[in-house]
């Protein structure tokens, strides 16, 4: 018969490890064989509850209390840098680089309609990107 043998909370990592064993009686002696041992981090408590099944509802080995303690100490996922900001900033750098030749040509009087059109298109794109960047969060929460 497979049963929950041990459930341990690790404070340093705010996680729980659960061990299930298969109990067999052979010659009057109970033999336990570990069938599953799994560590659940603080974001996997719902998975642990599902794996525990009936053991969770009757609080076998205090498992419901341990899960509550982990949930109470849960630290939210750290925010990550917004990748869209990096894309916008990279494109703005490219726009600056693409503008240099046209600006130089216009500055020395050698620029033509192509250069003016190119600068206008690049500035229109850059203005739209700067507007988007102003409302783009620095970090996003997973």
- pLDDT (tens digit, 9 = 90+) per residue, 115-142? 999 999 999 999 999 999 999 998 887 6
31, 87: one domain: no
Which domain range does residue 131 map to? 80-140
Same domain, 50 and 8: yes
For 79-127, write each residue's pLDDT tens digit. 889 999 999 999 999 999 999 999 999 999 998 999 999 999 999 999 9
> Do 94 and 136 share a domain, yes or no?
yes
**Are both 12 and 63 inside the same structural domain?**
yes
Q: Tell me the per-residue pLDDT of 27-77, one tens digit each, with 9 for 90 and over.
A: 999 999 999 999 999 989 999 989 988 877 777 888 888 888 999 988 887
One domain for residues 26 and 45:
yes
CA dist 130 and 86 (Å) reads: 12
Q: How many domains does the chain have?
A: 2
Helix (H) or strand (E) holding 22: strand 15-26
Of 72, 95, 121, which residue is a domain's last? 72
Q: Are residues 95 and 67 in the same domain?
A: no
Beta-carbon neighbour count of residue 14 at 10 Å? Answer: 17
The pLDDT score that the predictor gives to residue 142 is 66
Residues 67, 32, single domain; the answer is yes
Q: Please tell me whether residues 99 and 133 are part of one structural domain.
A: yes
State the residue for tokens 């067999």. Answer: 24
């Amino acid at each position: 018969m497979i049963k929950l043998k041990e459930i341990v909370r690790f404070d340093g990592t705010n996680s729980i490890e659960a061990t299930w064993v298969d109990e067999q009686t052979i010659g009057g002696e109970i033999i336990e064989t570990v069938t599953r041992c799994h560590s659940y981090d603080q974001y996997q408590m719902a998975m642990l509850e599902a794996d525990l099944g009936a053991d969770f509802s009757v609080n076998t080995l205090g498992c419901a209390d341990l899960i509550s303690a982990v949930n109470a100490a849960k630290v939210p996922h750290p925010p990550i840098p917004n990748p869209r900001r990096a894309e916008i900033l990279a494109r703005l750098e490219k726009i600056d680089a693409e503008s240099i030749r046209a600006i130089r040509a216009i500055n020395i009087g050698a620029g033509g309609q192509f250069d003016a059109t190119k600068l206008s298109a690049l500035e229109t794109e850059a203005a739209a990107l700067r507007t988007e960047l102003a409302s783009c969060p620095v970090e996003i929460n997973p």
